[in-house]
Each structure stands twice: as C-alpha cells, then as structure tokens.
Amino acid sequence: MDMERTNTDNTELEKTESKNFIEQIIEKDLEEGRFDHVQTRFPPEPNGYLHIGHAKSILLNYGLANQYHGKFNMRFDDTNPTKEKEEFVESILQDIKWLGADWEDRLFFASNYFEQMYEAAVKLIKKGKAYVCDLSAEEIREYRGTLTEPGKNSPYRERSVEENLDLFENMKNGVYQDGEKVLRAKIDMSSPNINMRDPIIYRVAHMTHHNTGDKWCIYPMYDFAHPIEDAIEGITHSICTLEFEDHRPLYDWVVNELEYENPPKQIEFAKLYVTNVVTGKRYIKKLVEDGIVDGWDDPRLVSIAALRRRGFTPESIKMFVELCGISKSNSSVDYAMLEYCIREDLKAKKPRLMAVLDPIKVIIDNYPEDQVEWFDVVNNVECPELGTRKVPFCKELYIDRDDFMEEPPKKYFRLFPGNEVRLMNAYFVKCVDYKKDKNGKVTEIHVTYDPETRSGSGFTGRKVKGTIHWVSARHGIQSEVRLYENIVDEEKGKLNEDGTLNLNPNSLTVLKECYIEPNIADVKPEDKFQFVRQGYFCADLKDYSSEKPVFNRIVSLKSSFKLPK
C-alpha cells in the first residue's frame, strides 16, 4: 500500500514538473475558478502564407484546447484592409487542416465584428474614456514623449462626450479624409508604458475591405480590435508572441473598460526561429518575385505549403514543435532538428526502394541475355508489416557513379577493377572490364556474377566487404530527382552587406536521368519512401505524374545531429 502511494506521488510530481508555463497558468485559472473551461484561437492576418512559426502557434493553441477538453477557434484577424487578400484565406485554411487542427464549426472573421467594435468605441466615448483627436500623425508622435520623457496631453483631450460622439459619427459617415481625425483611448500620457499614452483605437481609411466592401471608412487598430474579438468569442486564454507583452496592459484596459464578463487573458510566448531558413515575408516575397524560387511552396522554403511539398508530414512538424517546447525567451532552433523529426517519422513507416541517381550501365557478361529473375525483397527491415515486393534483375543494370572507381583509395570497398561486391538482395559480381568515352568518363562496366551467391540461397561461402544498390536497366523507370541544400549560406552569414540574401547557388540540383525500380507504378503525388542509401524522398505534389515522375529529396539519411538533453 505504502509503495503504491509513493509511486503515484512521484508520477504526479513528474507531471507537474514537466508542465510548461502556459499549462501552469491554465490549470491555476481552472482551479481558482477564473474560468470553468478553456477556449483558444489561432488568429492569422490573411496577408501571406503560414510558416513553421505559425505551425507552432496553431499546434499549441489547438493542442491546449484538446488537452483541457475545450474549444479551438479559427479566426481571421482581417481588420486592416491595406494588406489583406482573399487568396490567402484559402491557403491558410488548407494549411491548418493539413496540420490536423480542427476548428469544427468555429471559423470566424474579425471583420464581422466591425459593428460591435464600433459600439464598443461609442461605449468608451460615453464613459469619457475615448476622444476624437485632430492632431496629425506626426504631432501625435511628438506629443507621445519617449521612453525617458512623459508625453503631453492632446489639446483635444477634454472634448465633451457629446462632441466626441458627433465627431466619431462623422468619422464613420465619411465626413473626413484619411488621417484627418482619429479616435484615441483616454488613458495616461505620462504612463511609463508608451502603449498606454492615449493610443489610437480608430482611424479613417477610405478603402475597400475584402469582406465588408465599402461599408466602413473607419477601421479599428489592432490593440483595440484584438481583445474585443477574443471577448466576443469567449476566448479564455489569448496566446500571442512576446512582442505583445508591453501591449498586455492595454489589452486588459480594453476588456475591463468594456466590462466584459470573464474577460480573456493574454499570455505571451517566444516566437520560433529556425536556423538556415528564411521566414521573413519580405524576403520570401522577393525570392518569389525574382523567380529564384518556384512560388511560396518551393520546397526550399519553410512555409507550411513548402514543407508539405518537400515531403514533411504533419506528424514530423508536431514532433518538432513539441521538442522545441514553449519558452519566454527568443532563440533559434537548429534546422537539423526538423530533419531529425522527419527521419524519425518516416523510418519505420515507409518502404525502402532502390534508386540510382547518377547512373552507369553495368553489363553482366555471363548472365543469360533474355533471363529475368524477380527477387523477393523486404520493404523495410525495421517494419516487417510492410511486407515484401518483387524486384526484377537482368543482364543490364544501373548502379550509381559513386559506387565505382577506376583507381580506388584504400578502404574503398565498392566496385573497382578486379573487386567483388554484393548487389543488394541479388548476387555477388566482380568487375572484369570497363569502358570510357573520349573525355575519360566511365560509360559501361562489365562484371561477371556467381550464380551460387544468390541472395536467400543459403550461400555461406566467401565474404565481400561492399554492398551496392542497383536498378534493372530494362525495367527501371526514368525519373527526375530534385536535391536541395539551404537556400541561404548560413556559414557566411544570411545577409550580404547590402542587406540582400546571401543565396547558396547550389540550393537546387535537378537530376533528370535517374532510374527507380519499377515498383513506383502506383505512386501518387506526396507518397514518400526511402531510396536506400540516398535518403527520404517525396513524389512532388505539383509536378509528379506517372508519365513524368518527379521526386524531391526530403532529407538525406545521415546526420551528426543529436537531440539536446
């Protein structure tokens, strides 16, 4: 009995210790009755494609909602008509669905709350907590003060409630030009927090909005709109990134002054940054516009669409985000950790095929001309459930150029004149001759095989040190293979002196004449495999067809990466 107790206590202890700070806050709120449920949201602005950092935010918010049996809202924060586009709404929803976050019937658009936001502003005016200000943008900046100096009150700060109500209505009715008047919260011009120095909450902008069209010519500012959106939807924990920490007092001010019951609570965590990749929208846009990459989903980028096209799985991204953890201080995570996660995810799940990326023809001089043997090959030695397949073998094969040398250095155990190697899953062959073209490039290798050494024949004779893979030249399917390296040269610095990206000229290698064993006949875009000794590959989402197979290398097999303890 005693033993049992101790055990349970220990497990309990371990559980609390491994809770991240957000989980701790949520559990405290539930315990103390601050909230009786959990409701989170992911609130992107539809102004670009989502990237790996957003994936972290999505999985965090969705994960917490699930963990506490709560709800997860998908909300477009589309209150700024200048930057937003309909096209991004679709791509964002598709990416979130693919990641596995399910908003069920809770899809919202902040622009649908414009009426309530307007009412909220009127309420503040009536409470004497907001005023219309005629200062220009520049004057507002001057009056604001600095980190060391307090600000000065606007000369319009003491306008009466009636005057403010009239002026605000006129703002709404299109009486003023852009920038002529703004609505400001009346808080404290001498606050040590600059965000509290009578921030602008509404501005005039004669613009067409993608959802509301020309209905509005005034638009709420983010710091005013966001807490209202959260409150309207009944969000309990509004999770955002660290740069909003100084805005939290304003968030709290807004929900308190508007007297929401059970107002939401803002919690900040550090953004995810990854080494060796480009996440800034500005840079990616330029790469796309300059034609350096093939769109926002180019497999060298880390937008969610690009990761998907490269061959990353939702599971691998989830594993990555979990390994990164949640923190309060900004830091970068090694790209190699993302590669580790996809290897871990695929290694026991996917079949292993033979593919030759840089072919040299091999002719088996003593193999019968018209004979074809079909070998039974295990699909994945680590996962017997994946079964076996038949791989054809005949007189003419391809092997990879790396696997042959005319004059090998010591410890080279692959094919060279006079040496014998094992053809993976097949026979031992010995190199007896080779041919070169006039440039000295090896074009053909002649070998002899030993019929006694057939794989699975129980042969227990001599040993060979090298095993190489191969593809039947008469059955192999010619394919295009794309190999990737980092798009920026991190070692020499991501940016050049002039602020442009220091691009790696070798970030993409396209191999047009690769041969893959014929077992890819039923492959569909996005299917993934290991090509033995070469890495993990994915049939390209956009360009793959059975007439023209195209495979992307997701990641090579080897890595010096070690999981941080």
CA 466 to chain centre: 39
Using CB under 6 A as the binding criterion, the count of chain residues that bind ligand ATP stands at 13
Give min distance, CB of 204 to ligand ATP, in A.
23
Residue with smaller CB distance to ligand ATP, 45 or 490: 45
**Residue 448, token pair as written in the block:** 């002899």
Q: Which of 27, 30, 53, 358 binds ligand ATP (CB under 6 A)?
A: 53
Strand-pair category, 218-220 with 237-241: unpaired
Residue, CB closest to Mg ion: 45
Helix (H) or strand (E) holding 241: strand 237-241
- The site partner of 44 among ligand ATP, Mg ion, none (C-beta below 5 to 8 Å per kind) is ligand ATP
Contacts of 165 (CB under 8 A, 6+ apart): 122, 125, 126
User: Which range binds ligand ATP by CB under 6 A, 37-45, 294-302, 432-440, 453-461?
Assistant: 37-45
Give min distance, CB of 269 to Mg ion, in A.
16
Tokens 């019968």, residue? 368
**Residue 28, token pair as written in the block:** 């405290």
Q: Which of 45, 169, 485, 526 binds Mg ion (CB under 5 A)?
A: 45
Tokens 């871990």, residue? 344
User: Which range binds Mg ion by CB under 5 A, 37-45, 110-118, 135-143, 312-320?
Assistant: 37-45
Q: Which of 123, 144, 281, 401 binds ligand ATP (CB under 6 A)?
A: 281
Question: Residue 275, interface with ligand ATP (CB under 6 A)?
Answer: no
Tokens 């969000």, residue? 235
Residue with smaller CB distance to ligand ATP, 61 or 164: 61
Strand-pair category, 71-76 with 107-109: parallel
**What character string, x for contact with ligand ATP (CB under 6 A) and - otherwise, covers 185-224?**
----------------------------------------
Residue, CB closest to ligand ATP: 53
Contacts of 348 (CB under 8 A, 6+ apart): 380, 382, 383
**Phi/psi at 531 (nearest 5 deg)?**
-95, 120
**Residue 463, token pair as written in the block:** 């040993």
Question: Residue 502, interface with ligand ATP (CB under 6 A)?
Answer: no
- The site partner of 281 among Mg ion, ligand ATP, none (C-beta below 5 to 8 Å per kind) is ligand ATP
Q: Which of 23, 27, 29, 45 binds ligand ATP (CB under 6 A)?
A: 45
Give min distance, CB of 93 to ligand ATP, in A.
13
Contact between 71 and 33 under an 8 Å Cβ cutoff? The reply is no
Give min distance, CB of 48 to ligand ATP, in A.
6
Q: Give the span between the Cα atoms of 327 and 318, in whole angstroms.
A: 16
Question: Residue 423, interface with ligand ATP (CB under 6 A)?
Answer: no
Q: What is the CA radius of gyration of the chain?
A: 31
Three-state DSSP class for 43? coil
Q: How many CA atoms lie within 13 A of 524 on its CB side?
A: 0
Q: Which residues of the chain form contacts with ligand ATP (CB under 6 A)?
A: 43-45, 48, 53-54, 56-57, 240-241, 271-272, 281
Q: Which residues of the chain form contacts with Mg ion (CB under 5 A)?
A: 45
